[in-house]
Amino acid sequence: MAQPVLGILVTHASLGTELLRTAETILGPQTRIEVISNTGTSVAGLSEKLRDLIAETADQTIFLFVDLLGGSCSHACREIRRLHPNTIVFSGVNLPMFLEFLHHRDRVDLEELRTRVIAKGRDGIQCLS
């Protein structure tokens, strides 16, 4: 079995922690998942945390999940993307896309994983009325 792709949730407050906790309730304990919150830090601080976290894995592909396009977390991840082209950044993270990532990250190639994550995230948004 292949080593799972590293995933990093970069979110406001405790959203990332709660997404991971919820996903683990559904799928069980997960490895190679990190959570970074913007609480009490700036864009520069977030960027520094990300640089430190991925320093040893810069040659591997990393999936970064951001909650809000255009927010501080998004800006920090875009900076990391410029420094480390092997990162793939998704904004608007939701539970369906995160579960898809966790379930398939050691089963399919990176392009298929990227495509699946985007599709599942979009498919998870429905108007039920």
Instruction: Kindly report the CATH number assigned to the domain that includes residue 43.
Output: 3.40.50.510
Cβ atoms 63, 91 nearer than 8 A: no
Global pTM reads: 0.96
Secondary structure (H, E, C), 51-84: HHHHHHHCCCCEEEEECCCCCHHHHHHHHHHHHC
- Check residue 105 and give its pLDDT: 97
The Cα 28–Cα 60 span in angstroms is 24
Determine the structural domain holding residue 24 and report its residue range: 6-123
DSSP, collapsed to helix, strand or coil, labels residue 2 as coil
- Check residue 28 and give its pLDDT: 98
Give me the residues of the chain with pLDDT under 70, please.
1, 58
- Check residue 56 and give its pLDDT: 80
**Residue at 18 is within a domain:** yes
- Check residue 72 and give its pLDDT: 96
- Check residue 109 and give its pLDDT: 96
- Which CA distances in Å does 51 have to 13, 16, 35, 36, 54? 20, 18, 13, 12, 5
Q: What is the pLDDT of residues 11-21, one digit of tens each?
A: 999 999 999 99
**Residue at 102 is within a domain:** yes
**Residue at 73 is within a domain:** yes
**Residue at 128 is within a domain:** no
**Residue at 23 is within a domain:** yes
**Residue at 1 is within a domain:** no
**Residue at 93 is within a domain:** yes
What's the domain count of the chain?
A: 1
